[in-house]
Amino acid sequence: MVKFESKMLDIIEALHKSGLLKNCIISGSWAMFFYKEIFEGFIPPIATTDFDIFLPNVSRIKEGNINKLLIDLDYLRDDDSLTGKTKYYSKDGFEIEFLTVPDRTMNNVIKIHSIGIGAEALPKMKVAEWNYITVKYNGYEVNVPSPASYCLQKLLINKEREEVKKAKDIDAVKYILKYVLASKKYKEEFIESFNSAPKKWKKAIKETIEANELNTLIELQ
């Protein structure tokens, strides 16, 4: 069992009970856990206690009790006094964060009143929504970025990450890319998604690919 897998399952169950599971995408490193369901021999390279819940369409979220459910799991809630951003912490350091994309206000944190939490708004999270997949796990249907979208998003934001996280992300991308490029479906999706990306995002992705000498089939010139 992957370390903290039981905690992850508890969160998935809480999301299901709250009605949020169908309207969220599990992003960040924990998305990789579910790729073992689609790639034979895939071993999730997860070594993080951060669990990111991406809410791509805030307007679809109806009133729910996710706050109570997480507190019932012994998570401590923390709301940043300056930004209003909400995080949950377990006593052994597991951390839950909610993410979304900016709305017309362009605020860095969006208050989702229906569930009473503040989600950090990150423009580049949009990549995770380009192509997401639904994976069956333990009786639940879980949305995660497709492996192609996962790699592109990590390549896009790499220069903005802390040095230690940069290296970990590149190692993960290298591992996932082996499976992506071996799959006709995901290889085509990877190239097509890159080609349809905004010009500035393409440039950032190319720079990361070149700096790390990655084999991606993307033309760097």
**pLDDT for 67-99, tens place per residue?**
999 999 999 999 999 999 999 999 988 999 999
Q: Are residues 84 and 18 in the same domain?
A: yes
Mean pLDDT of 134-140: 94
Q: What percent of the chain has pLDDT over 90?
A: 74
Q: Are residues 138 and 154 in the same domain?
A: no
Given a contact cutoff of 8 angstroms between Cβ atoms, the answer to whether 23 and 115 are in contact is no
Using the 3D structure, point to which of 79, 114, 145 is the last residue of a domain. 145
Q: Are residues 76 and 161 in the same domain?
A: no
- The pLDDT of residue 221: 45
Q: Are residues 134 and 35 in the same domain?
A: yes
- Going by DSSP bridges, is the β-strand pair 95-100/117-121 parallel, antiparallel, or unpaired? parallel
Please state, rounded to an integer, the average pLDDT across all residues of the chain: 91
Using the 3D structure, point to which of 121, 145, 169 is the last residue of a domain. 145
Q: Are residues 171 and 75 in the same domain?
A: no
Number of domains observed in the structure of the chain: 2
d(CA 121, CA 100): 5
* Residue 10 belongs to domain with CATH number: 3.30.460
Residue type present at position 179: Y
Q: Are residues 27 and 92 in the same domain?
A: yes
d(CA 49, CA 179): 25
pTM of the model: 0.92
Q: Are residues 136 and 153 in the same domain?
A: no
d(CA 55, CA 76): 21
Q: Are residues 191 and 90 in the same domain?
A: no
What six digits make up the tokens of 78? Answer: 């923390």
Range of the structural domain that residue 58 is part of: 1-145
Q: Are residues 79 and 140 in the same domain?
A: yes
Using the 3D structure, point to which of 145, 170, 197 is the last residue of a domain. 145
d(CA 53, CA 92): 19
- The pLDDT of residue 2: 59
What six digits make up the tokens of 101? Answer: 């994309």
Q: Are residues 152 and 141 in the same domain?
A: no
- Going by DSSP bridges, is the β-strand pair 50-54/95-100 parallel, antiparallel, or unpaired? parallel
For residues 210 and 220, the model is more confident at 210
Q: Are residues 164 and 121 in the same domain?
A: no
**Is the per-residue pLDDT at 1 higher than 60?**
no
Q: Are residues 130 and 165 in the same domain?
A: no
